[in-house]
Amino acid sequence: MTYALSPTITLSLSEIGATARKAARGIGMPWGFAEEASRATRALTALNLPGPESLLAALQAMDGIIDRFHAEETGGALTSRCGRLCPISAGAALSDRATLLASGAIYAMQPVVSPLLLLPFLIDIAAVTGTPMSLAVGMRPYAVSPFPASELLGHLSRNEVAALRVLRGAETEPGSSPSPTASRTVGIATWQALDRLASRTYVPATEHSRRAGAGAGTSDND
């Protein structure tokens, strides 16, 4: 893919979602999680939050060793083999426990790679259960639903979170939800990096595939 010299490119949510899915698959993420990665990236982007940037940071951190970041429940906490959690598998694990969270269960979490990607999962849990959700950074809980408090966004965007806890209710006021957007301007460097990861999913053409109709085949009459 060739890009203009502009440092940014404007993309639709569907373009962002499709490349996010392929990029996640490119580092070995299972199909189901890749779909969730696409959905979370699109959801953040629609809220004018850095979805593509957050996903890229997570994929680069987990590239080649993604299995070590998989979230598993251990004594009421979400942990992984390497001590850091994939935000997608952690978000999916929390979604599976939505009813427990709504009833008052608290889940502690090891540090999460690109924790901003957790937000779409928590917002969905709140919407599905009709229960406000909070995310505690250290000992302080911050409102997640219906939209994260600005201070929480600052913590998660800087990726400086040591550990998190997910719990019902909120002790701080939620933020104001921005107007949804159907497109987003993304830095060329970020998009190219995601595109390179996505390209790992492309199957190289073979002589057999060309004869079967993939590509120009053995003759090109253009």
* pLDDT tens-digit series, residues 170-179: 667 777 777 7
Residue 112 scores a pLDDT above 80: yes
Burial class (CB in 10 A: 0-12, 13-18, 19+), 102: middle
Distance CA 111, CA 114 (A): 9
What's the pTM value of the predicted model, to 2 decimals? 0.86
As a whole number of angstroms, the distance between CA 17 and CA 12 comes to 9
Q: Where are the domains of the chain?
A: 8-176+183-199
Calpha distance 193→197 (Å, rounded): 7
Helix or strand holding residue 135 (H, E): strand 133-137
The answer to whether 191 touches 7, Cβ cutoff 8 Å, is no
Of 18-22, 62-66, 105-109, 211-215, where does mean pLDDT reach its minimum?
Answer: 211-215
pLDDT at 171: 64
